[in-house]
């Protein structure tokens, strides 16, 4: 256990030197399947210095990008040995002498990618962290920097939408898809989602509609639906694709004139195929989006601060909840990683390492 006491004359948040902190981390020294290359190792952490912050990780999710990074299939290539994970929520334990904006007891999330968050404790720099209200739930805070922000930027940056406009997306039960539904509801937009058919389709539709989806259709249903032709909903001006292949082609057919499809993933590992008719006669456009790139380009921008404020305000108000998830202990990483690989992002269930105890 970390033991500390407040020193006389020291401002709040700076504590005396501790005995030692033993961090348990999921590390890997080569690329491969997570269950094969990840190892739970222990390291002693030194005291934070200068602008450093020592934190205890409370919760950290497993994202598809985390799995791809470990496999060596992601554009980000870590230096070995590397700690897995990019997202988390943590509690500040103590800070270095030059830290001005954070103090012990605060909850924080990482602003930078590639820090390695699948660990019980870590030392980060102050400018790599953002303070978060404790009113925000652990699961919400832990999953706030990738999926909600991806949904937010795609809804804001490609088409100027107004209340009553329609957005359509495949992979509508993914974590990003769930975020899109919730933001659309908060902003007065119609959210139409496409999912694969499955035995529990009725329950899935109900869950997504409770999150804010206006309509959920299977891949077979969208091909015959008259939801737009009948005028029930406006034709979508914006579409999101995380699947690729035939699914992306079908979604693009429903775009209105001048509509835009934004691709942010390719779960089917099939290319995006453009339908010639809509491309020519509707003049639809195809764009790509990568949240990591946007974050690097806007690291300290006012727009990024505004985005997080808007998202956390919705979370505090209970208008935005974490994606469907399961909390798992860190030492069960092999089972969790295998399950995440088997689901391939299609089930809409996220696994989150729980280190809050």
On whether the CB atoms of residues 143 and 61 are closer than 8 A, the answer is: yes
Planar angle of CA 172, 340, 335, nearest 5 degrees: 150
Tokens of 189: 């937009």
For 68-117, where are the E strands, in sequence order?
Answer: 82-83, 89-95, 107-110
Residue 293, both tokens: 């790139």
- Residue 317 is given by DSSP the state T
Q: Is 314 helix (H, G, I), strand (E, B) or coil?
A: helix
Q: DSSP 3-state assignment of 241? A: strand
Distance CA 328, CA 344 (A): 18
Which residues are annotated as catalytic? 74
117, 103, 108, 156: which is closest to 312 by C-alpha?
108
Token pair, residue 27, equals: 């590390």
Q: What 3 state SS string does 135-150 have?
A: CCCHHHHHCCCCHHHH
Dist CA 319 CA 211 (whole Å): 9
**Do residues 94 and 14 make contact, with C-beta atoms less than 8 angstroms apart?**
yes
Q: Three-class SS of residue 255?
A: coil
171 conformational bin, left if phi > 0, alpha if psi -120 to 50, beta if neither: left
Question: Hunting for tokens 């005028």 — which residue is that?
Answer: 231
């Amino acid at each position: 256990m970390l033991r500390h006491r407040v020193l006389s004359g020291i401002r709040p948040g700076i504590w005396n030197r501790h005995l030692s902190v033993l961090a348990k981390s999921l590390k890997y020294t080569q690329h491969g399947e997570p269950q094969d290359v990840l190892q739970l190792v222990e390291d002693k952490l030194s005291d934070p210095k200068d602008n450093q912050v020592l934190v205890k990780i409370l919760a950290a999710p497993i994202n598809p990008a985390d799995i791809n990074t470990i496999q060596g299939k992601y554009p980000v290539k870590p230096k070995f040995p590397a700690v897995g994970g990019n997202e988390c929520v943590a509690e500040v334990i103590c800070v270095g002498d030059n830290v001005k904006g954070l103090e012990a007891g605060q909850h924080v999330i990482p602003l930078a990618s590639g820090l390695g968050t699948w660990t019980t404790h870590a030392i980060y720099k102050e400018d790599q962290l953002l303070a978060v209200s404790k009113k925000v739930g652990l699961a919400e805070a832990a999953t706030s920097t990738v999926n909600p922000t991806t949904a937010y930027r795609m809804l804001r940056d490609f088409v100027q939408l107004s209340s009553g406009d329609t957005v359509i997306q495949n992979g509508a039960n993914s974590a990003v898809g769930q975020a899109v539904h919730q933001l659309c509801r908060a902003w007065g937009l119609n959210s139409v989602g496409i999912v694969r058919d499955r035995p529990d389709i009725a329950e899935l539709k109900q869950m997504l509609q409770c999150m804010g989806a206006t309509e959920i259709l299977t891949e077979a249903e969208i091909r015959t639906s008259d939801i737009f032709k009948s005028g029930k909903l406006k034709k979508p001006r914006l579409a999101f694709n995380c699947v690729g292949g035939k699914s992306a082609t079908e979604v693009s057919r429903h775009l209105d004139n001048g509509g835009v499809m934004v691709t942010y993933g390719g779960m089917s590992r099939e290319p995006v195929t453009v339908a010639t008719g809509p491309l020519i006669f509707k003049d639809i456009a195809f764009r790509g989006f990568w949240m990591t790139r946007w974050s690097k380009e806007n690291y300290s921008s006012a727009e990024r601060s505004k985005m997080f404020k808007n998202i956390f305000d919705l979370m505090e108000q209970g208008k935005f909840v974490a994606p469907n998830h399961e909390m798992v202990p860190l030492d069960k990483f092999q089972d969790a990683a295998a399950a995440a690989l088997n689901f391939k992002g299609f089930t809409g269930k996220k696994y989150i390492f729980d280190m809050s105890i």
